[in-house]
Structure 1
Amino acid sequence: MSAYEVVDAHYVEEHIGKMPLVDVRPTLRFDTGHIPTAVNIRLDVAQMTDDAGAELAEMFQDHGIGQHDAAIVYCQCGPHAKMACELLAGQGYDQLRLYQGSMDDWVKDPARPVETAGESFVK
């Protein structure tokens, strides 16, 4: 069994506000538009260190997300979120959900809400 579960947009919609949602994209992309309630924990920052997995785990812990806490991870189109899940799995994280379609999939439905730098709207 994988250390993370792959989920779809319906799952994300059902868990907004009930489970931490982590956007691993750079801040500019996050500020331009993200799924409501998401926090920005940048994978690129973690990758600048000697131990990206340990750095990313520390960043998650700084946001109150521990090794056995469920959280949904996404990026722009999936690969970086998957990389983040794999790095965190190596640090003992075992309850992550990978939103494989990520933002590209999320914005395909204009009824889904998107937040930008402090504002929430439906596209």
Structure 2
Amino acid sequence: MNVLPQTELLAHLDDTSLVIVDCRFQLGKPDAGREAYEASHITGAIYLDLEKDLSAPLDPDGYGGRHPLPDAAQLTGTLSRVGISNDSVVVAYDDQGGAMASRLWWLLKYLGHEKVYVLDEGFAAWVNAGRPVSAEIRTPEPAQFLATVQHNRLIEMDEVLEKLEEDGVKLIDSRDGARYRGEVEPIDKKAGHIPGAMNLFWGESRTADGTWKSQDEHVARFEQAGLAKDDEIIVYCGSGVTATPNVMALEEAGYTRVRLYAGSWSDWISYGENPIATGNEE
């Protein structure tokens, strides 16, 4: 289980091993998430910023994408500073359907931490249910987090390029259909997708009411897309953030060879010689 029901979190709010992390963030409004946290958050939660804490600084030459993967040592220091240890049970939440919280989930898994969950439905549902919130900014007691980096969870651009024609390799573009087809591109400098990629929008990991789909529903979704359990699956999006809910869903559906292209589309197009496709794949 990667997604935690709200009732489960409510029942364990007093657990000393629990660390709740507010991951709210709005693209184009970099201070909005922290301001929302300071106004009101789940009682006891600390805040981690997508761009300041969960990404590295932008590369001056434009490589690495819009949200480059943070250095493992730097991220380990950040986690330790906010009180996350190897014994912590981490629950991340946002109000963007789990997209930002899933970034923290993936980073912790990448560093070898298994006890991490995304809160189902997010902050708005927590508030609407009358569950405890606070504006108090908690100063966490530092802890020690030691990473065991899981390199098999990550793939870099050069290897993606090598695998484009390889049998048994499936690419998943997690962006919405219009961006995948290259019909619109509101963020990045070039439109389209990596040749051969299929389009599986990350939001389809949730039901119409915003709750996380069941394991059986995830299985049906990916089987319908033609994914086999022994496929090597590469998942990307615009900058490596909204791809992570698809990674979570794939793992819940029993796929074990899933890798994130963290730089994603914004990194891919920074190499002018890389091929670009538009429209739907046959």
Length-normalised TM-score, structure 2? 0.39
| 1:24 equivalenced with 2:174 (yes/no) | yes
Could you say if the C-alpha distance between residues 24 and 100 of structure 1 is closer, same or farther in structure 2, counting changes exceeding 3 Å? same
**Is the contact made by 2:205 and 2:245 (CA closer than 8 Å) also made in structure 1?**
no
Aligned to 1:34: 193
The 5 Å alignment of 1:63-78 reads 63-78=225-240
Larger relative contact order, structure 1 or 2 (CA cutoff 8 Å, min sep 6): 1
Residue type at the aligned position of 1:112: N
SS at match of 1:89: helix
Letter matched to residue 13 of structure 1 = L
As a proportion of its length, which structure holds more helix? 1
SS in 1 for 2:247: helix
Aligned residues: 118
Q: Matched residues in 1 for 2:214 and 2:158: separation?
A: 28
| Paired letter, 1:88 | L
Opposite residue 70 of structure 1, the aligned amino acid is E
In our comparison, the structure showing a higher alpha carbon Rg is 2
Q: Kindly report which structure 2 residues correspond to 1:1-123, keeping only aligned pairs within 5 A, or say none.
A: 5-18=153-166, 19-32=169-182, 33-49=192-208, 50-52=211-213, 54=215, 55-117=217-279
Q: CA RMSD in A?
A: 2.1
Q: Which of the pair is proportionally richer in strand?
A: 1
Unmatched tracts of structure 1, length 5 or more: none
**Identity rate, percent:** 30
Note the C-alpha offset of 1:56: 3.9
